[in-house]
């Protein structure tokens, strides 16, 4: 059997990834659908008429579509930020995008755009792909441009608080992926491809970053193996 050679750090969200993305992410992240639903429900607490909501790293647009549907009766503006043109093109073909007139797409990196005053910003497994030295500036930009009472919903892959916890987490995550029909080889190859591309912190480190950015009201709203969600209110 000829084995596919994978180079370190070769992971990308471009190429043909959009076509397989929804299936791949569900099989890779425990509780992915639970967090999508939770964020969708939470959005209704922060979005009212004239609200602006950002979805940072929207990929195939599942979350932004759900938020559009649940808040349909309100006059809101949804802004999706996504640097991968292939993802943007995929989402632009969806029914929801074509029938809506209040979803704006920005095909850029979040670090390179100006944020309008808004009531909700969501990063669902996105900031983990951005270099650590840029994250604090991005979080400060989020804090500064949120209206008082507005929220930042922050989901990330996280490390355990020490090596024992981390070992347990990575064993359990491997079991989860095997149960979801990833082969040993696919798991090893993905781990190699995301080296230096996906850089998680621990929950405590993420909480500390949010505090440095200005957020004082913080609540952990989700934790499943090494995936966690934080609600930060300004």
Ligand X SMILES: C[S@@+](CC[C@H](N)C(=O)[O-])C[C@H]1O[C@@H](n2cnc3c(N)ncnc32)[C@H](O)[C@@H]1O
Q: What is the DSSP letter of 232?
A: E
Contact between 25 and ligand X by CB under 6 A: the answer reads yes
CA 150 to CA 167: how far, in whole Å? 36
Nearer to ligand X, 57 or 200 (CB): 57
CA 119 to CA 101: how far, in whole Å? 19
The residue range among 53-61, 69-77, 205-213, 218-226 that interacts with ligand X, by the rule CB under 6 A, is 53-61
Contact between 62 and ligand X by CB under 6 A: the answer reads yes
Nearer to ligand X, 15 or 164 (CB): 15
Residues 77-96 that bind ligand X (CB under 6 A): 81-84, 87
Least distance between ligand X and beta carbon 58 (Å): 6
Contact 57, 129 (CB under 8 A): yes
Least distance between ligand X and beta carbon 69 (Å): 15
Contact between 146 and ligand X by CB under 6 A: the answer reads no
Of 27, 36, 15, the residue nearest 183 (C-alpha): 27
Q: Which residue has the tokens 């940072």?
A: 56
Q: At what angle do helices 17-28 and 32-46 cross, to 10 degrees?
A: 100
From residue 65, give the alpha-carbon distance in Å to each of 27, 82, 212, 213: 21, 14, 32, 29
Strand, coil or helix: what is 160? coil
What x/- string results for residues 99 through 138 when contact with ligand X is judged by CB under 6 A? Answer: ----------xxx------------xxx--xx--------
Binding residue for ligand X, selected from 59, 71, 206, 226, defined by CB under 6 A: 59
Q: Please report, as ranges, the residues that interact with ligand X according to CB under 6 A.
A: 13, 25, 56-59, 62-63, 81-84, 87, 109-111, 124-126, 129-130
């Amino acid at each position: 059997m000829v084995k596919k050679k994978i180079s370190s750090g070769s992971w990308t969200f471009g190429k043909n990834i959009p076509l397989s993305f929804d299936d791949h992410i569900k099989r890779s992240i425990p509780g992915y659908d639970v967090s999508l639903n939770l964020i969708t429900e939470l959005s209704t607490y922060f979005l009212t008429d004239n609200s602006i909501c950002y979805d940072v790293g929207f990929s195939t647009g599942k979350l932004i579509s759900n938020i559009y549907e649940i808040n349909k009766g309100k006059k809101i503006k949804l802004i999706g930020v996504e640097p991968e043109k292939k993802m943007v093109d995929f989402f632009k073909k969806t029914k929801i995008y074509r029938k809506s007139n209040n979803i704006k797409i920005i095909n850029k990196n979040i670090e390179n755009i100006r944020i309008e005053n808004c009531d909700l910003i969501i990063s669902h497994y996105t900031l983990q792909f951005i270099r650590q030295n840029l994250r604090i500036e991005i979080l400060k930009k989020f804090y500064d441009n949120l209206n008082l009472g507005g929220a930042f919903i922050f989901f990330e892959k996280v490390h355990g608080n020490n090596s024992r916890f981390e070992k347990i987490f990575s064993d359990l995550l491997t079991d989860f992926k095997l149960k979801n029909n990833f082969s040993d080889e696919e798991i090893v190859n993905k781990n190699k491809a995301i080296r230096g591309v996906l850089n998680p912190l621990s929950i405590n480190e993420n909480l500390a970053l949010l505090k440095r950015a200005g957020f004082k009201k913080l609540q952990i709203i989700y934790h499943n193996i090494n995936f966690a969600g934080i609600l930060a209110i300004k």
